[in-house]
């Protein structure tokens, strides 16, 4: 009797694993599209899809042997799970994970010669961090998405942007001291625009919606460095109330 129960248990476990492997095989897709090879998984038929679509997010879905993406909507079967694409040379092009049609977690992209081009971190379809690399693998640009905008660092330039309004763009010298500060509103110069030499203010110009309204030239104490400005911005972000 005991042997019979053990055998039954083993057969049940084996059957479960077989069903799981069969289901995973059924969910996998492979196709050629736009000169690349796509390998990916789709959402199970018995899983709930998207109840409410976020109009700001892009949803990836599969239909008629093609992968599609649509802002704020989808049709066909949502991508769900691991995703890989390859160049014609079989070199890896991109790799990441989808969660019910949305990019999620770590994504990486490579050039055709195999060097890393950029890496991204996503959270349910929202891009949180993006890093760009040169052909030697050196980091050349970092974009960090904050709650109401972006924190962008590229070479000697730091940009703090909020929903299309560039609050501040700062350019530094080789010692990391502020060289120039610019402010924009709706694509036009707005507010104080300042220039520095060796950390001291040499000119201050004030604009209103692209029109010059005031100009002052004087000396001031050395401005804060790139490091202290970044720390101040991060501290300000932590003090703001949380929310998408």
Task: Kindly state the average pLDDT of the residues 98-106.
Answer: 97
Choose from 58-72, 177-191, 228-242 the range with maximum mean pLDDT: 58-72
Check residue 103 and give its pLDDT.
98
Give which of 79, 75, 76 is closest to 96, Cα–Cα: 79
Check residue 156 and give its pLDDT.
78
Least confident piece of the model among 5-9, 68-72, 205-209: 5-9
Distances (CA, A) of 113 to 88, 92, 93, 96, 140: 12, 9, 10, 19, 19
Whole-angstrom distance, CA of residue 177 vs CA of residue 224 = 7
Average pLDDT over the chain reads 80
Whether the CB-CB separation of 81 and 38 falls below 8 Å is answered with no
Check residue 147 and give its pLDDT.
66
In sequence order, the 6+-apart residues with CB closer than 8 A to the CB of 213 are: 206, 207
Check residue 17 and give its pLDDT.
41
Would you give the end-to-end CA distance of the chain in angstroms?
60
Least confident piece of the model among 2-6, 47-51, 73-77, 144-148: 2-6
Check residue 69 and give its pLDDT.
96
**Strand pairing class (116-123; 126-133):** antiparallel
Whether the CB-CB separation of 161 and 182 falls below 8 Å is answered with no
pLDDT band at 187 (very low <50, low <70, confident <90, very high): confident
Tokens read off for 209: 């919606």
Share of the chain above pLDDT 70, in %: 75
Whole-angstrom distance, CA of residue 78 vs CA of residue 69 = 10
CA gyration radius, the chain: 26
């Amino acid at each position: 009797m005991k042997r019979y129960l053990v055998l039954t248990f083993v057969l049940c476990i084996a059957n479960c694993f077989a069903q799981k492997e069969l289901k995973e095989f059924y969910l996998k897709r492979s196709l050629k599209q736009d000169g690349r090879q796509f390998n990916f998984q789709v959402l199970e038929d018995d899983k709930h899809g998207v109840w409410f679509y976020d109009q700001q997010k892009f949803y990836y879905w599969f239909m008629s042997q093609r992968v599609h993406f649509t802002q704020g909507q989808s049709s066909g079967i949502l991508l769900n799970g691991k995703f890989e694409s390859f160049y014609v040379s079989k070199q890896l092009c991109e790799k990441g994970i989808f969660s019910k049609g949305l990019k999620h977690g770590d994504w990486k992209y490579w050039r055709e010669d195999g060097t890393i081009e950029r890496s991204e971190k996503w959270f349910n379809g929202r891009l949180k961090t993006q890093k760009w690399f040169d052909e030697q693998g050196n980091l050349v640009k970092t974009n960090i998405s904050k709650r109401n905008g972006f924190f962008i660092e590229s070479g000697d330039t730091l940009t703090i942007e909020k929903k299309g309004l560039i609050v501040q763009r700062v350019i530094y010298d080789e010692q990391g001291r502020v060289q120039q500060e610019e402010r924009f509103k709706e694509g036009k110069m707005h507010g104080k625009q300042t220039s520095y030499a060796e950390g001291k203010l040499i000119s201050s110009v004030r604009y209103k919606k692209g029109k010059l309204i005031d100009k002052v030239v004087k000396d001031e104490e050395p401005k804060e460095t790139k490091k202290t400005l970044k720390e101040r911005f991060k501290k300000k972000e932590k003090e703001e109330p949380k929310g998408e």
